[in-house]
């Protein structure tokens, strides 16, 4: 006999488990199917473990530079195994919490690999065999996986994916990174702070392609200052593996080749949606040429009762975006009126050193949309809290409509950017103007004052900076 449920959720990542919990809260009978990780890649081998290790590495770097504050520290050492134990402890606590929340909200759990057999049926391959599931609604939340390059297939020993790079029990002396996107740079900064010689190879003419050019130029300068070796407009052409590590051959756009040696090479050139093994054709669900499922503002696929969320749909591959999509899908299924997606205000953060965060439009994007803009910028070098923390590099930039002052976008590079972006995100969501931010009293001395000053700068009357 097949198992029957109202809604089946395929994948228990930050999109899937959130959708399942919300369905449970709304009284919808729900089954969630997970192949490997409760909490998904993000919680187990991505966002959370990487941030735990990034924080540990920054702490070590702070200790190494404590003399800046008049503090003498000697004998600080890195124990990579203990760092891994700390990371695993954080992951274990959070993944256990996800399972408890699912069960506590009445969601049934099933471990296995799901495949559609029809528009309302699934087959799940479990460790005990195969099980059939009948459903009224389905939410596909199967996430993504790292893209591999021919000749650089992952062995997680010498050729690493992000998963392997976050599991090393020995800090490498030299690390070569193929890909200058956020994953490669976050891991690169982490190991750089631990003392690794890091080389980054990027095909495009800038790091973090698609990110505000002024932010990227600042980051590039600061990474070089930290000792990272960066090769733009170069591609990976070959690799030789040896007992002492790897030799990576890279080729510039001029055709010239060079060899770069490392203990490992990390391949971080993007991620691919996990959709090809789902039997989507049997359910009638269509994908584009990249394997992504197009959805409407209710998170529905072209098949009305089948929804898709997270990395398998177009747009930025962000955990918090997936969670919002999961909430909307759940509420639509439960019949809540007004539930819909609005991707206009989705913040993003890059946990490099220094951090980057942004929301809305940058200056170039706004002008491309035909908007006349004014820009307010405030440097952290003029912020007392940043100076007192010896983290005074970077800036806050606000892009606003020239005539009305409506805030269109904010870009931040500097200390705690990932947290600071929350205020501008709420501001844009609520339709704030630069005057709204400027008239709001900000606590002194804090990093958040930089947002206030940038808004004032956009209006031409910043206090702690010269106005243009």
How do the domains of the chain map onto residue ranges? 3-146+272-333, 159-269, 354-458
At 259 the pLDDT is 97
At 190 the pLDDT is 98
Beta bridge partners of 247: 240, 261
Q: Do domains 3-146+272-333 and 159-269 have the same CATH topology?
A: yes
Set 231, 305, 444, 464: catalytic member: 444
At 1 the pLDDT is 84
At 241 the pLDDT is 96
d(CA 250, CA 257): 6
Burial bucket for residue 221 (CB in 10 Å: 0-12, 13-18, 19+): exposed
Q: Which helix (H) or strand (E) holds 18?
A: helix 16-25
Whether the CB-CB separation of 92 and 105 falls below 8 Å is answered with no
At 343 the pLDDT is 83
At 130 the pLDDT is 96
- What averages of pLDDT result for each successive group of 10 residues across the chain (468 residues)? 95 98 98 95 94 97 95 94 96 94 97 98 96 98 96 97 97 98 98 98 96 97 98 96 96 95 98 97 97 98 98 96 98 96 93 98 96 98 98 98 97 98 97 97 98 97 91
**CATH topology classification for 354-458:** Enolase-like; domain 1 (3.30.390)
CATH architecture of 3-146+272-333: 3-Layer(bba) Sandwich (3.50)
At 29 the pLDDT is 98
- How many other C-beta atoms are found inside a 10 Å radius of the C-beta of residue 190? 28
Q: Active-site residue 234, yes or no?
A: no
d(CA 65, CA 72): 9
At 344 the pLDDT is 82
CATH architecture of 159-269: 3-Layer(bba) Sandwich (3.50)
């Amino acid at each position: 006999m097949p198992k029957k449920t109202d809604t089946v959720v395929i994948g228990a990542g930050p999109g899937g488990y959130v959708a399942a919990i919300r369905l449970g809260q709304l009284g919808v009978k729900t089954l969630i199917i997970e192949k490997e990780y409760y909490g998904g890649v993000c919680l187990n081998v991505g966002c959370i473990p990487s941030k735990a290790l990034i924080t540990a590495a920054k702490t070590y770097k702070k200790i190494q530079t404590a003399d800046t504050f008049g503090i003498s520290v000697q004998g600080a050492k890195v124990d990579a195994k203990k760092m891994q134990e700390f990371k695993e402890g954080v992951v274990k606590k959070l993944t256990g919490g996800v399972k408890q929340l699912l069960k506590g909200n009445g969601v049934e759990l099933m471990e296995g690999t799901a495949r559609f057999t029809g528009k309302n049926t699934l087959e799940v391959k479990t460790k005990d065999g195969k099980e059939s599931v009948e459903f009224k609604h389905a939410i596909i939340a199967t996430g993504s996986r790292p893209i591999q390059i021919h000749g650089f297939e992952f062995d997680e020993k010498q050729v690493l994916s992000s998963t392997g790079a976050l599991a090393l029990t020995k800090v490498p002396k030299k690390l070569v990174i193929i890909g200058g996107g956020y994953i490669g740079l976050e891991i690169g900064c982490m190991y750089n702070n631990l003392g690794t010689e890091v080389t980054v190879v990027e095909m495009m003419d800038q790091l973090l392609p698609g990110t505000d050019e002024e932010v990227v130029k600042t980051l590039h300068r600061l990474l070089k200052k930290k000792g990272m070796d960066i090769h733009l407009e170069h591609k990976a052409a070959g690799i030789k593996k040896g007992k002492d590590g790897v030799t990576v051959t890279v080729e510039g756009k001029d055709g010239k080749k060079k060899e770069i040696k490392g203990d490992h090479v990390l391949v971080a050139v993007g991620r691919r949606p996990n959709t090809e093994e789902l039997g989507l054709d049997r359910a009638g669900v269509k994908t584009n040429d990249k394997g992504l499922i197009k959805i409407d503002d209710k998170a529905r696929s072209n098949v009305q009762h089948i929804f898709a969320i997270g990395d398998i749909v177009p747009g930025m591959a962000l955990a918090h975006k997936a969670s919002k999509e999961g909430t909307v899908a759940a509420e639509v299924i439960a019949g809540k009126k007004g539930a819909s997606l609005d991707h206009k205000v989705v913040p993003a953060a890059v946990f490099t050193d220094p951090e980057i965060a942004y929301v809305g439009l940058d200056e170039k994007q706004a002008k491309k949309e035909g908007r006349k803009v004014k820009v307010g910028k405030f440097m952290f070098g003029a912020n007392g809290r940043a100076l007192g923390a010896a983290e005074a590099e970077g800036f806050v930039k606000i892009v606003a409509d020239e005539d009305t002052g409506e805030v269109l976008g904010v870009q931040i590079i500097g200390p705690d950017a990932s947290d600071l972006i929350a205020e501008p995100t709420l501001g844009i969501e609520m339709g704030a103007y630069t005057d709204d931010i400027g008239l709001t009293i900000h606590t002194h001395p804090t990093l958040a004052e930089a947002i206030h000053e940038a808004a004032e700068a956009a209006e031409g009357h910043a206090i702690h900076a010269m106005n243009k």
